[in-house]
Structure 1
Amino acid sequence: MGTLSNLLFLLLTVHSVNALKCYVCGSATTNQECNKSEQDCQAPLDTCMTTVGTLGGFTAISKTCSNSKLCTSAAAIASVDNNGNGVQVTCCNSYLCNYSGAASVTLHRWLLVLPLLLITLLFRQHT
């Protein structure tokens, strides 16, 4: 019985060390305000999702634990117009990775544009 207890304790310890933790907030106006609360994400929530909505000079930031498919889908349909108004969604999956919504939004744009540039270059080389 002692061996079973030790094995169970080990499994619980390993699981808690590898758990994803995200910053969470409802509707903050700055990252500093939003990063005051952290949450351990429970399965099947495997992604930190950051949503930044901008309208005029007003910005609302929301951070939460999410499912990777849901976050990726939300990021794919989010958009911002030429005036900077709209919604941006970013996804990440490492410990407290959603610290800076602004930096990850910029990185996310490049991750979307880079594959399109590579595909365009490949097509031009074959024609």
Structure 2
Amino acid sequence: MSDAMLSSMKILLGLGLLTLLLPSALPLRCYVCGTAPTNEQCNRNNQTCPVLENRCLTIIDIRGSSRTISKQCATASTCTGIISTSGLNANGDGVLAECCRNSNFCNINGAGSISARRALPALSLLVLLALVAQ
């Protein structure tokens, strides 16, 4: 391999590594709201997160047919704590929490996860019943 080719490969490798590291060095941007009845209303405001708050947190509080959505920047430990205590009771009431950090505004669809999480236990039960019936 020629010196020029090796030099070009080193430059490309360096640029590739820089591209991978750059997004994590930039502050994350998240949708933020205190409490809103819809995801669309919650997505009207956004902010650049402080350096230590490198997650976008969405909290959905479900009480009967009433839902409120809150979004904010959060630390990893805040996300771990909230997610570990979130869940729905047998009536479908409770708090769901979701954190992300893969891209700016990754919490855009936070409220969309409600139906999927409610459907998952029902789907699991159906699969279990199908297996038992065989």
In which range does the TM-score fall when normalised by the shorter chain? 0.5 to 0.7
Structure 2 equivalent of residue 60 of structure 1: 68
Residue 92 of structure 2 corresponds to 84
Task: State the Cα distance separating 1:104 from its structure 2 match.
Answer: 4.2
Are residue 95 (structure 1) and residue 96 (structure 2) matched?
A: no
5+ residue gaps, structure 2: 1-21, 121-134
Give TM-score scaled by structure 1 length: 0.67
Q: Write the distance in 2 (CA, Å) between the matches of 1:62 and 1:102.
A: 10
Q: CA RMSD in A?
A: 2.2
Equivalents in 2 of 1:96, 1:104: separation in Å?
15
- Deviating beyond 6 angstroms after TM superposition, the runs of 4 or more aligned structure 1 residues are none
Q: How does 1:8-87 map to 2 (within 5 A)?
A: 18-87=26-95
Question: Following TM superposition, by how much is the alpha carbon of 1:19 offset from its aligned partner in structure 2, in angstroms?
Answer: 1.7
**TM-fit CA distance, 1:70:** 1.1
The separation in 2 between residues aligned to 1:69 and 1:87, in whole angstroms, is 18
Gaps of at least 5 residues in structure 1 are 1-13, 111-127
Sequence identity percentage:
36
More deviation in 96-105 or 48-57? 96-105
Give the distance between the partners of 1:102 and 1:26, measured in 2 at CA: 14
The separation in 2 between residues aligned to 1:103 and 1:73, in whole angstroms, is 22
Contact 1:49-1:91 at 8 Å conserved across structures: yes
1:18 to partner: Cα distance: 2.1
SS in 2 for 1:45: coil
Q: CA deviation at 1:79?
A: 1.4
Structure of higher CA gyration radius: 2
Contact 1:56 1:85 in 2 (8 A): yes
